[in-house]
């Protein structure tokens, strides 16, 4: 799903195919297919059939191109192997003529068809976002999604040009040393001359013209590197590109340090969170559709037990910005002190991703913990009520009644109680 989401963001849409092979894995899995490898057929804006194609390994050096086509319909797949060239599909060939398609001989009938055993399309289309502004009015393109790059190509070209100019300034800014011809060391006629940049001492020969000014004859050339100008230009172009694509600069580390609280993070990433919520609206139906198809395949071909393919599925995404646990606990404490929140809502605020069943189970556990009585008699009360008096019949063995009366008498003058005799 992560791979599919990245392909959809750049290529406007992607396809998910349910595949299975019990010799490789006990359960079915998903295969991600780029949009360029699928020819879709739509009915009322919904994918009703699709042709998946891919190039096979070439068998000769004559320039022939082998392709495998899969025509998917609900309940069946029709295969075909074709040999053509770069721009032509070519003629249909037997499956046994290519080693990559020999396995289809036993899997298909005489017409190249294979029954899937599932009355559903094994391919699911997942758009990035809709609608596609560039393909408006083009037939059979309305269900296709819109890429994150749509409409921002000129700004990306400008960013590339600005970065190239910056790299050019770095190349031109390399220091260069200009020395007169007299300082070069010659290796003989016709062999050229060189100058050693690591030479520490250069002696001026007396009698030569300009020998006294030889110390000033070595000059250096170094052009200015416009770092700040290029940095501001590329940074602003990058910010405009991210904003046009629907993302916040904070999500890409453009706005300095990360905010402290979850509220500040959400405020700085508002555009990214809005785009995230929009993409979830399109990805949730595709995810539920392909998972339902996968359950049907799991029951039909992989022997899954205890799985109900007809069950209605739900999908939820976690919060993009997790709240501070300490702030949540403080809020719950204040609401509880004010008597303005129930135990159900406390658990719901603590775990927003839980459904009602999970929340109710946690509420029951909390109530069970509160009503549980401690085992034994830790205070040795022996059934005496708090602040109650022990009856005379409950006197411990070895306790003298006279001593009880003596203890019950108040000492004269407010003195301390007399000690008991051994």
Whether the pLDDT of residue 161 is over 50: the answer is yes
Position 321 pLDDT exceeds 80? no
Q: Which range is most confident: 193-202, 260-269, 365-374? A: 365-374
SS3 assignment, position 315: coil
What is residue 373's predicted lDDT score, i.e. its pLDDT? 55
SS3 content of the chain, % helix, strand, coil (to 5): 40, 15, 45
| Packing angle of the helix pair 343-350, 325-337 (nearest 10 deg) | 170
Looking at residue 201, what is its pLDDT? Answer: 62
The pLDDT assigned to 209 comes to 47
Please give the Cα distance from 124 to 318 (Å, whole number): 24
Say if CB 39 and CB 47 are below 8 A apart.
Answer: no
Whose CA is closest to 239, among 415, 330, 247?
247
Assess contact for 134 and 142: CB atoms under 8 A.
no
* Side-chain half-sphere CA neighbours of 154 within 13 A: 1
Opening angle at CA 186, ends 183 and 192, nearest 5: 110
User: What integer pLDDT is reported at residue 418 of this predicted model?
Assistant: 47
Q: What residues are paired with 91 via a beta bridge?
A: 83
Tokens for 272? Answer: 């990214």
User: φ, ψ for residue 351 (rounded to 5)?
Assistant: -130, 80
Q: What is the model's pLDDT at position 162?
A: 96
β-pair partners for 126: 14
Neighbouring-strand partners of residue 252: none
pLDDT band at 405 (very low <50, low <70, confident <90, very high): very low
How far does Cα 417 stand from its chain's mean position? 77
Which residue has 């605020």 as its token pair?
349
Burial per residue of 352-369, b for 16 or more beta-carbon CB atoms within 10 angstroms, e otherwise: eeeeeeebeebbeeeeee
Give the separation between CA 217 and CA 182, rounded to whole angstroms: 10
pLDDT at 410 exceeding the cut of 60: no
pLDDT at 412 over 50: no
Torsion of CA 320, 325, 326, 329, to 10 degrees: 120
pLDDT tens column, 212-262:
555 456 777 788 899 999 999 999 999 999 988 888 887 777 665 555 566
Q: What pTM does this model have?
A: 0.68
- What is the C-alpha separation between 259 and 262, in angstroms, rounded? 8
Residues 6+ apart with CB under 8 A from 359: 344, 347, 348, 351
For the residues 104-116, what does the mean pLDDT come to? 92
- 4 pLDDT higher than 80: yes
pLDDT reported for residue 74: 95
Three-class SS of residue 53? strand
Higher pLDDT, 209 or 84: 84
pLDDT band at residue 335 under the 50/70/90 scheme = very high
Handedness of CA 370, 371, 372, 375 (dihedral sign): positive
Average pLDDT of 266-295? Answer: 88
The answer on pLDDT for 414 being more than 50 is no
Distance CA 291, CA 298 (A): 10
State the pLDDT confidence band at 186, using cuts at 50, 70 and 90: confident
Average pLDDT over residues 16-25: 94
Least confident stretch, 57-66, 118-127, 146-155, 377-386: 377-386
Coil, helix or strand for 358?
A: helix
Window from 119-128, 148-157, 379-388 with minimum mean pLDDT: 379-388
């Amino acid at each position: 799903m992560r791979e599919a989401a990245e392909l959809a963001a750049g290529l406007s849409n992607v396809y998910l195919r349910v595949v299975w092979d019990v010799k490789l894995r006990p359960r079915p899995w998903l295969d991600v297919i780029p949009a360029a490898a699928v020819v879709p057929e739509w009915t009322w804006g919904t994918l009703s059939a699709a042709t998946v194609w891919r190039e096979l390994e070439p068998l000769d050096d004559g320039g022939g191109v082998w392709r495998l086509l899969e025509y998917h319909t609900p309940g069946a797949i029709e295969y075909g192997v074709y040999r053509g060239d770069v721009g032509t599909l070519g003629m249909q060939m037997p499956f046994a003529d290519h080693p990559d398609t020999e396995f289809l001989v036993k899997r298909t009938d005489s017409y190249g068809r294979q029954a899937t055993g599932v009355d559903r399309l094994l391919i699911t289309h997942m758009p990035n976002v809709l609608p596609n502004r560039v393909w408006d009015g083009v037939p059979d393109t309305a269900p296709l999604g819109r890429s994150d790059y749509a409409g921002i190509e000129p700004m990306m070209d400008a960013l590339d040009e600005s970065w190239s100019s910056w790299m050019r300034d770095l190349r031109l800014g390399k220091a260069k040393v200009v020395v007169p011809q007299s300082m070069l060391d010659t290796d003989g006629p016709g062999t050229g001359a060189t100058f050693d940049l690591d030479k520490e001492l250069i002696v001026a020969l007396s009698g030569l013209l300009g020998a006294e000014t030889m110390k000033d004859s070595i000059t250096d050339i170094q052009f200015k590197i416009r770092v700040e100008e290029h940095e501001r230009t590329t940074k602003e172009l990058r910010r405009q590109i991210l904003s046009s694509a629907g993302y916040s600069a904070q999500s890409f580390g453009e706005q300095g340090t990360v905010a402290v609280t979850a509220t500040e993070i959400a405020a700085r990433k508002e555009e990214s969170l809005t785009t995230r919520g929009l993409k979830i609206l399109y990805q949730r139906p595709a995810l539920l559709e392909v998972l339902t198809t996968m359950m049907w395949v799991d029951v039909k071909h992989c022997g899954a037990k205890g799985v109900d393919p007809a069950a209605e599925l739900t999908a939820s995404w976690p919060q993009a910005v997790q709240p501070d646990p300490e702030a949540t606990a403080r809020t719950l404490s204040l609401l509880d002190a004010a008597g303005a929140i129930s135990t159900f809502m406390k658990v719901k605020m603590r775990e927003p991703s839980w459904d009602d069943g999970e929340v109710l189970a946690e509420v029951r556990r909390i109530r069970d913990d509160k009503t549980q009585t401690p085992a034994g008699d830790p205070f040795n009360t022996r059934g005496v009520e708090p602040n109650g008096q022990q009856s005379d019949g409950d006197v411990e063995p070895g306790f003298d009644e006279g001593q009880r009366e003596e203890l019950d008498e108040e000492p004269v003058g407010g003195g301390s109680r007399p000690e008991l005799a051994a």
